[in-house]
Amino acid sequence: MNNIIINNIKYLCLIGGSYHQKKNIFFSVLSTTIVLCCFFASFKVQANLVQIKPENAFFKQSLWESEPIPQQILSLAYGKLTHYGLDQIIYCTKNKIVVGEIKAQKLVEYFNLKAPKTQEYHRLSMGDWNQDGNINIIVNGFESGRVFSDLYQFKNQKLILVQSFDNLVMPLKLNGKTELYNQKWFGQGEWEKQAHQMIYNGKRWVSSSNFISVNNGLGRNAFSLFDMVSMGNKLVYFNRDASLLVSDLKGKKIWKSSLNFGGAVDYTKIKHRDPLGLNKDKLYMISPRMAWANNQLYVFHNQSYINSVVGTIPQIKTTQFLSLKWKQQDGFQESFRSQTFQGALTDVRSIDFDGDGQQELLVSFIKRKGGYLGPTHKKQSSRIAVLKLK
């Protein structure tokens, strides 16, 4: 690249002719140089996004796949966190946050942050929610039976903790605008029936008086932000019986599916008081992630040996991902179903991976090595893939 520019400058110095001739030649050479610079810069960026050959792909729909990662990935996000021009995938396991850079078919670990021994991570999100030009990460998890959310910024090659919350704080995109919402956890699987919008006062994020009403699921407990995805001015919930429920922002139910969409694979242990007043450990299941893109809902159908539902031990054996099209009168109708995979899909995000203006799916997948993915979270490897939408 430098040689091209230098040679063009030398050429300009050597040419003869009138002022106007030199001027015309100068701008011609300059424009050619700019085009070449843009071409090679574009080539440099695209070189990191090598599309996988179909015969080597684990998923038929893959544009890109990572090599197997010897960790159980529970949640992930995508963007340019470090502003170096490379695409980063940020993911979390139960005990670590990892910032990785896409280089050809490898996800090279750039930075990691280990969780304190008393904490475990379950979800993360990434975005510039206060519009200050800095990308933030929110990680959600549990500590000794209580929920927490930590807000980080990436500065000086480190994740710096900016603010901690005792509530569940997650982004929702409602009516075309993404905002942070928080929801209180009362313990033993009970959540507040309102999620309050958060505002940034110039120093900290605080809860506002604006809120959305959260529906009740089975057992008359309110859904959590873990269980929902926004769809314009509606909310889609993943119910405890693995059915889908749609409501407006005031809590009015619009539609409920009769189909079962499979069980959860992520969980935590919480203290639960039994009828005799004794505290016992109980598995609290965290619903599978959903994504809304291109006017379709993308969900996982994690299948088990028995008809495992959210709230039971997640004996996941195989999985599929489905796309559901929303029809006002008939609710969600299935429009695509993938092939069956041995393992479990754990997270999904809607992204524009190749810069063509179209949405793709970023998914994390735990491959099963025999038996099933049970509550012990046995050491399994994960893959990350970018799937072309149908």
CA 215/CA 221 separation, integer angstroms:
8
The pLDDT of residue 353 is 86
Mean pLDDT score, 171-176: 93
Mean pLDDT score, 361-380: 67
The pLDDT of residue 51 is 59
The pLDDT of residue 371 is 54
Note the residue count of the chain.
390
- Is 90 exceeded by the pLDDT of residue 183? yes
The pLDDT of residue 82 is 66
Fold exhibited by the domain 47-388: Neuraminidase (2.120.10)
In the chain, the percentage of residues whose pLDDT exceeds 70 is 76
Between 9 and 74, the more confident residue is: 74
Q: Are 153 and 210 in contact (CB under 8 A)?
A: no
Q: HEC states along 23-77?
A: HHHHHHHHHHHHHHHHHHHHHHHHCCCCCCCHHHCCCCCEEEECCCECCCCCEEE
Q: List pLDDT tens digits, range 280-339.
A: 777 777 887 899 988 899 998 877 654 444 434 456 778 888 899 998 888 999 999 888
Written as one letter, the residue type at 299 is V
- Is 70 exceeded by the pLDDT of residue 80? yes
Between 157 and 93, the more confident residue is: 93
pTM, full prediction: 0.81
Identify the sign of the CA torsion 68, 343, 238, 386. Answer: positive
Confidence of residue 12 (pLDDT cuts 50, 70, 90): very low
The pLDDT of residue 110 is 85
For the chain, give every domain's residue range. 1-46, 47-388
Mean pLDDT score, 264-283: 73
Mean pLDDT score, 57-70: 84
Between 256 and 2, the more confident residue is: 256
> What six digits make up the tokens of 95?
């005990």
The pLDDT of residue 24 is 54
CA 377/CA 326 separation, integer angstroms:
35
Confidence of residue 87 (pLDDT cuts 50, 70, 90): confident
